[in-house]
Amino acid sequence: MTSTRLDPSPADGRAWLTDLIDGVQLTPKGEDVALLLTKNPRAAAFMPASQLAKEIGVNAATVVRFAQLLGFTGWKDFQLNFRHRYLATVLPSEMAATRPREAWESPFEAAIHRDVENVQTALDTVDRQVLADVVGALGTAGRTLVLSAGSYAAVGHILVDKLKVMGFDAHLETRGGIHTITAMASLGEGDCLVGISFLRLLRHVVVGCQEARRRGIRTIAITDSVFSPLARAATHTLMVPTESTSWFQSLTAATAVVNGLVCELHAFAGARADDAVKRVEGLYETFDVLYERDQR
């Protein structure tokens, strides 16, 4: 048996799959699975393993073994990442029509149920050793720079705000271009860069992580697929599902993962973080920024 070699031309978008299976010895039936992935990515992105197997003319175990051979726990794990790779080729205005119709009574219910499923998936799949490595990197960094933009920056705002309250030197840059260059210029050994981007990736976030890693700076990615160039650019990557039922990506699971990360960092920092939080509480009193109950 030989490794399947697909035409990696950018026009058909198969370079990512070629890279993934390079050096892997697929069976002839496994090659059939790979071929369907490239010929009908929409179907493969949403079909259960049993239906996909029927389309190819193999049994479901073959589809599962294909995913496991590529390093995934099973078809569902592979498909989650593959679906994000496929959806990245679809315009947001087309995305809602591309997704299968949910069975819930209303769009509201469908969206909430999807978010619940995303959070559960994150709980089940976030690698705890990677999480510990991220905590160690952030907890010992001299300075942390977070790169993001648009709605994705909401996740970065939460992370940076909580880091600052716990006494860490953290900053968020969302503007790209010269602003990213200036912010990165002061990073050095012992510092940390975090890139947050999903699906249709922001260029300055990916390039920033690539450059930081080239310079020996610890890099952390928070993204939604192992196929993401951002994941490949980072030293440590936290994978979170961002599936939604509409044209946008849901940030609910990403926010939940950042909340959990902050809790781990609080435990890691111990008394240092406790003291910092108390100082912030004191400043709230000094500046009288809250609308207190007796003022109502």
- Say yes or no to pLDDT of 3 above 60: no
Tens digits of per-residue pLDDT, 21-48? 777 888 888 889 988 888 888 778 888 8
pTM of the model: 0.80
**Residue 153: what pLDDT?**
97
- Say yes or no to pLDDT of 2 above 60: no
What are the residues facing 173 on neighbouring strands?
A: 147
**Residue 6: what pLDDT?**
38
User: What fold, for 124-286?
Assistant: Rossmann fold (3.40.50)
Q: Which segments within the chain are labelled E, that is strand? A: 144-147, 170-173, 192-196, 218-223, 236-239
Q: Which segments within 209-290 are labelled E, that is strand? A: 218-223, 236-239
10 vs 177, more confident: 177
**Residue 102: what pLDDT?**
61
When mean pLDDT is compared across 104-113, 121-130, 186-195, the lowest value belongs to: 104-113
User: What fold, for 15-89?
Assistant: Arc Repressor Mutant, subunit A (1.10.10)
How large is the C-alpha radius of gyration of the chain?
Answer: 21
Domain residues of the chain, as ranges? 15-89, 124-286
**Residue 77: what pLDDT?**
84
- Say yes or no to pLDDT of 120 above 80: yes
Contact partners, residue 175, CB within 8 Å, separation at least 6: 149
Tens digits of per-residue pLDDT, 132-171? 999 999 999 999 999 999 999 999 999 999 999 999 999 9
- How does strand 236-239 pair with strand 170-173? unpaired
Share above pLDDT 90 across residues of the chain, in percent, rounded to a whole number? 57
Q: Kindly write down the DSSP assignment for every residue of 110-171, as one continuous string.
A: HHHHHHHHHHHHHHHHS-HHHHHHHHHHHHH-S-EEEE--GGGHHHHHHHHHHHHHTT--EE
Tens digits of per-residue pLDDT, 251-273? 999 999 999 999 999 999 999 99
**Residue 291: what pLDDT?**
84
**Residue 294: what pLDDT?**
60
**Residue 83: what pLDDT?**
80
> How does DSSP classify residue 4?
-
**Residue 167: what pLDDT?**
98
- Say yes or no to pLDDT of 16 above 70: no
274 vs 106, more confident: 274
**Residue 89: what pLDDT?**
76
